Amino acid sequence: MTVTARVSFGFWSDRVVAADQLQSDLRESGEQAITVGGENGPPIGCLVVLTQKPQLDLAELGTLARLANRAKITIAVDRHRPGTDDGPPWPRDATLYWGGRYPDLAEVAQALVDLVRPAGLLSSALPAFLPTDRPLPGIPHAGDRHELIAQLRRPEQLRVISLTRDLHDELLRPRRAESRADYDLLRLVRWAADEANRPFISLRLTRSERPSIRPEQPRALDAVLQDLRTRRLVLLLGEPGAGKSQQLRYYDAWAALHSLRQPGDGPLPPGAFCVALAAQPAQPDITMDWLAQQWATVVDPERWCDLRTFLADGGTVLLDGLNEGGMRALPLREWMTRWRDVISQLLGAGATKVVVSCRTRDLVIPMRAPRNETPTEVSLLPLSKDDIVAIATQADPAMARRLKPALDEDGMIEQLYSSPFRLRRFLETGADGIALTDSRLYGMVIAAALLRDFEQDNLHDGLVPDRVAAALRSHYVNPWPVLDTIAVIKALAALAKELTFPAVPGGNARLTMRRSAAIGVLHDALAEAREDPSKAGLALDTAEDFHILQEERGDIRFAHPSLQHLFAAAGCTDAEIVALAEQERQPAVLPGRLPPSYAEHRYEEFFRFAAQLRPDVPRLLLRVDPVLAARAYLAAGPDARRGVDAEIRESLANLLVDEWAPAQRAAIMTALGELGWRLPTPSYRGSEALAAVPAGEWRLGRRGHDDAPETDTDSEPRTIALPGFTIARSPVSNLEYGVFVEAGGYDDKAWWTPEGWQWVTNSRAVEQSVIEWTRRQDNLRRDLGQIVTLLRARRATPASAAALLRFARLSETEIVAYARSQQARPIRYPRYWRRAALNNPLQPVVGVSWFEANAFCAWLADRHGVPVRLPSENEWEAACLHSLGLTDSADVTGTHGNTLAAGFPSTTPIRTYATEAQQRSRLPVEMLGNVFEWCFDYYAPGHHNRRILKGGSWRHEPWRAHPAYRGRGDVDAQNDDLGFRYVMEDAES
């Protein structure tokens, strides 16, 4: 088969000199760029169209359409921004503007690279439609529906389809569909007609279930729904403005295209029906009948089919906005419970899938259906750095150039701009600075709106005095000191407080208020600010014009919950903030399967904003709740931090002395880790870092360990006499391991075994890995029935059983390709070193192979001049029993440590599960749960590439957290629950 190379950038232009210059700039950056044209040629990655004409003639449009059909995406470089009288531009995925100055072309070239950066973008799979009055020369032209469907079915899957203007207008005209093909064409053409749908960047989501080797891999909803592992109910979760509705509407259009592309005589794939739950009446009508009414607004049931028939044929229903209950006179829990019943009815009526979108924070009940089955959950990914740069480049390349270095410098900045809503609002400001915290970002957005208003004759005269304009211009990056003086801002703060503060401690916050009530609050607040209270209505209109407030069906709400919390924080006195902290103080709740509730998010954000706006807030909170104070302090941003680190650390450390509840200890330790507190190590408070295990006789191995479903997973029962030894009290922490990384541990051959050095330098033979995997494959192939036996015994999930079966069928080519991909991965630090959920300095290091664990031990031994090594299995089990005050495995009872049952979504900081007795007597801690710990010993004779792992982990069922449980690991495995502790010989404890 001949594979035609795809050209990175193909240029088509009527500005030859400029196009040459751009291509030259791109080539200097290492990109491939050529001029394209004519009938035939190679596929094009990105078609760049540089033209000075706002409108193209028919011949030019024909050429453009032919080229666009060879390209993955099309980017226009236009000289002029479109005027109001210009028609819709020819189909493109993005537009860059160039003012005509040749020196600026280097920046345009950089913008092109940023837009097509391979890591970031997914191009839309859906075609664009190009309506014209006459056929375009050289490309097929659809004059009626049959010809249009024929175009959609062409095997090359056209990106641009030409059709008559009459047909296009007819498909856009509001009316009900009269047949399946009609229904599909209407949805597809209407989606494509909205230019906002062309950008190709928001279609990224991840699914929570295992197995997935790259959970961050971008996918669109069509890929999720086609995946055989996807359950019948799919929850699409994400924060406000993250793009959930766009995902649903995209899938709806994709399903229409998929259906239209089916050849005429076969069965059609299930259709899709998208419903916005915001269309529910104020008095909710959560029934199948209401859905049928919505169906009848888009389909004529008399001419085609009704909803029940659509469902019986296996249609997919997309319900957008499960959180919309917050807008109505129905408690959210009841709203969701009723929808869950309706979803069960939809599935019972034959729907293949139901997809429900919901704000992550608002999912207040487990949405299980049908028959209480677990749904598939997918979440919108936060934007990556490349995404942020690409989106900013599309909106304003100059802002993108300012953002890029800030993103490279500080991970917190990436987090700040990773919300599509925040990024979009920031880009709308056109600001020439970068906000470093979210309060400042929103402040800039508000300031920009006010300044625009001044520039447009001050339409809201009287509420925003002229004098603040100059002050805002000079305080653009930190506008709150100026905003705080404006009466309408004060009034909005009062409104936000009224909504946010619970009427009773622990009560519910509100998101909406009737318009008349909101005007009442604004009236009183304006009077208090010595402004004319009769302007309350004008104040509300002003806030709507500035996109701070929104009105829906007579209810007023802030445009985003974050804005509500920000205004509430801005309007509070110090005393009110402290009083709220006192009222709402509650013990940390163990994280369960559900996302945090709205109330938890509310106060997290409120106090963060308060700390950003008033640097004294963390110190004030310290006497109420040191953990809250620490979180607020850390979130305040570098500018707002006043040197109270030591004060907060001391308060937190004092709390640890008497606090033994794991959830509380985890919260305290997490904050301590971020504030630079250290655990003892051999070189720092050494006597507290090590535990002496006395000489004695130990009864180890399987002894009455009846709750384990497997009988062959424990070490053998045995009685062993061991001399005394010294073992680390805790697994090695990220902080401790980081010293090894920083000291060049991965570059110094001296610390590595020969095989370990081969592994870390990627010089291990691919053949060796292939031989090992092939041997295992042979073992499995001997009896595939054992996979079913495991499944029936619940020792394998359906997904892991299927993975085993697939492994048995892997070709040698696939195994070799996998081994090569592993070898190509550079090893400079542990595998999950940069994963936020696992890299608090006080969490145990994970993602370390047996080789890395040994290298660390060798390095530590050199530093301290004593032998340091991994424990043997006997030593590990004896130390574990010693940590529990026992000498016999048979006496171990109950569940210990961070396992799946605890509900933590990751490892917990070291000593979260330490007991009072272990701390008092300086015993080893957390031998069970949290991280699976490497031992030195071989797992089985003859298999030298597998070593023993002990203790179970945060990913394991509780029964594995037992001293006798014996796990196994390939020496090069780097799972996210693999860590270690060491034995230090001849050490004084």
Pick out residues in 567-586 that bind another protein (CB under 8 A). Answer: none
List 91, 847, 871, 967, residue binding another protein (CB under 8 A): 967
Radius of gyration of the chain (CA): 32
Q: Residues 703-712: contacts with CB within 8 Å, 24+ apart?
A: 703/888, 703/889, 703/890, 703/964, 704/890, 705/889, 705/892, 705/962, 705/964, 705/965, 707/959, 708/959, 708/960, 708/962, 708/965, 709/793, 709/794, 709/795, 709/959, 710/795
546, β-bridge pairs: none
Q: Is 791 in the site for another protein (CB under 8 A)?
A: yes
* Contacts of another protein in 372-431 (CB under 8 A): 373
Please select the residue that binds another protein; options are 118, 174, 263, 785, rule is CB under 8 A: 785
- Using the rule CB under 8 A, which residue among 353, 359, 614, 699 binds another protein? 353
**Pick 514 or 776: Cβ nearer another protein:** 776
Span near another protein by CB under 8 A; candidates 379-387, 414-422, 564-572, 803-811: 803-811
Please report whether residue 264 would count as binding another protein according to CB under 8 A.
yes
Segment 302 to 341, residues that bind another protein, using CB under 8 A: 302-309, 312-315
The DSSP H or E segment spanning 668 is helix 662-674
Task: Provide, rounded to whole angstroms, the least separation between the CB of residue 786 and another protein.
Answer: 6
Query: Which of 115, 463, 630, 787 touches another protein by CB under 8 A?
Result: 787
Q: 467 or 806: whose CB is closer to another protein?
A: 806
Nearer to another protein, 308 or 703 (CB): 308
Q: How far is the CB of 850 from another protein (least distance, A)?
A: 12
Among candidate residues 956, 894, 967, the one with its CA nearest the CA of residue 707: 894
834 touches another protein (CB under 8 A):
no
Residue 976 DSSP symbol = T
Look at the chain and count its residues. Answer: 989
Asked if residue 833 binds another protein (CB under 8 A), the reply is no
Specify whether the CB–CB gap between 703 and 888 falls below 8 A.
yes
Which of the ranges 78-86, 87-95, 206-214, 835-843 carries the binding residues for another protein, by CB under 8 A?
206-214
Q: Per CB under 8 A, which region of 390-398, 556-564, 814-822, 903-911 contacts another protein?
A: 814-822
Contact call for residue 210 and another protein (CB under 8 A):
yes
> For another protein, which residue of 193, 599, 656, 801 counts as binding (CB under 8 A)?
801
**Distance in Å, CB of 909 to another protein, minimum:** 23
Q: How far is the CB of 873 from another protein (least distance, A)?
A: 15
Q: Tell me the per-residue interface mask from 502 to 541 with another protein, x by CB under 8 A, - otherwise.
A: ----------------------------------------
Alpha-carbon torsion (413, 418, 424, 425), positive or negative: negative
Tokens of 810: 């892997």
Residue among 421 and 807 whose Cβ is closer to another protein? 807
Minimum CB separation of residue 187 from another protein in Å reads: 15
If the CB atoms of residues 390 and 787 are measured against another protein, the closer one turns out to be 787
Identify the CA nearest to 955 among candidates 834, 847, 806, 839: 847
For another protein, the closer CB: 350 or 462: 350
* Distance in angstroms (rounded) separating the CA atoms of residues 124 and 424: 20
Give least dist CB 379 to another protein, A.
19
For residues 488 and 567, what is the distance between their CA atoms, to the nearest angstrom?
11
Give the DSSP letter string of 406-462.
HHHH-HHHHHHHTSHHHHHHHHHHT-SS--SSHHHHHHHHHHHHHHHHHHTT-TTTT
Out of 32, 35, 352, 915, the only residue in the binding site for another protein (CB under 8 A) is: 352
- Which of the ranges 187-195, 238-246, 646-654, 793-801 carries the binding residues for another protein, by CB under 8 A? 793-801
Q: Which is nearer to another protein, 897 or 969 (CB)?
A: 969
Write each residue from 917 to 936 as x if it is in contact with another protein (CB under 8 A), else as -, in one continuous string. ---------------x----
Binding span for another protein by CB under 8 A among 117-125, 189-197, 913-921, 964-972: 964-972
Q: Which of 30, 38, 99, 267 binds another protein (CB under 8 A)?
A: 267
At 637, list the tokens.
């941003």
Q: Which stretch binds another protein (CB under 8 A): 106-114, 298-306, 338-346, 384-392?
A: 298-306
Cβ-based burial of 283 (10 A; exposed 0-12, middle 13-18, buried ≥19): exposed
How many Å apart are CA 769 and CA 780, to the nearest integer? 17
Encode 541-577: b = buried (16+ Cβ within 10 Å), e = exposed. Answer: bbbeebebbeeeeebbbbbbbbbbbbbbbbbbeeeeb
* Residue 800 touching another protein (CB under 8 A): yes
What is the rounded distance in angstroms from the CA atom of residue 44 to the CA atom of residue 954? 47
C-alpha dihedral sign at 717, 853, 933, 759: negative
Q: Does 820 bind another protein (CB under 8 A)?
A: no
Member of 799, 836, 837, 917 binding another protein (CB under 8 A): 799
Contact flag: residue 261 with another protein (CB under 8 A): no
b/e 440-471 (16+ beta carbons within 10 angstroms → b): bbbbbbbbbbbbebbeeeeebeebbeeebbee
Instruction: Please give the angle made by the CA atoms of 208, 209 and 214, to the nearest 5 degrees.
Output: 70
Query: Nearest 5°: phi and psi at 509?
Result: -85, 165
Tokens of 835: 């994963």
With binding defined as CB under 8 A, does residue 915 bind another protein? no
Cβ neighbourhood burial of 514 (10 Å; 0-12, 13-18, 19+): exposed
Torsion angle, alpha carbons of 121, 122, 123, 125, to 10: 180
Q: Of 30-38, 143-151, 222-230, 853-861, which segment contacts another protein by CB under 8 A?
A: 222-230
Distance in angstroms (rounded) separating the CA atoms of residues 163 and 188: 14
From first CA to last CA, the distance across the chain in angstroms is: 69
Backbone angles phi, psi at 336, to 5 degrees: -70, -40
Looking at 815, 881, 910, 927, which residue binds another protein (CB under 8 A)?
Answer: 815
Rounded least distance, CB 801 to another protein, Å:
6
Cα-Cα-Cα-Cα dihedral of 950, 951, 953, 958, to 10°?
A: 130
Q: Which residues are 835's β-sheet partners? A: none
Residues within window 706-735 making contact with another protein, judged by CB under 8 A = none
Residue 886 vs 900, nearer CB to another protein: 900
175 vs 809, beta carbon nearer another protein: 809
Kindly write out the interface string for residues 178-197 of this chain, putting x where it contacts another protein by CB under 8 A and - elsewhere. -xx-----------------
- For residue 112, the minimal CB distance to another protein (Å) is 31
| 16 belongs to the binding site for another protein (CB under 8 A) | no
Across the beta sheet with 690-693, the strand order is 690-693, 725-728, 983-984, 868-869
- Return phi, psi of residue 714, to 5°: -100, 160
Binding residues for another protein, how many (CB under 8 A)? 84
Among 140, 350, 430, 520, binds another protein (CB under 8 A): 350
By the rule CB under 8 A, 938 interacts with another protein: no
The CB-of-300 to another protein minimum distance in angstroms stands at: 9
By CB under 8 A, name the one of 956, 958, 961, 964 that touches another protein: 956
Q: Shortest distance, CB of residue 798 to another protein, whole angstroms? A: 4
When binding is defined by CB under 8 A, the residue of 229, 404, 649, 718 that contacts another protein is 229
SS3 call for 940: coil
- Plot region of 196 (φ>0 → left; ψ -120 to 50 → alpha; else → beta): alpha
Residues 742 to 781 in contact with another protein, rule: CB under 8 A: 775-777, 779-780
CB of 814 vs another protein, minimal distance in Å:
5
Using the rule CB under 8 A, which residue among 571, 682, 897, 969 binds another protein? Answer: 969
Cα separation, 417 vs 753, in Å, equals: 44
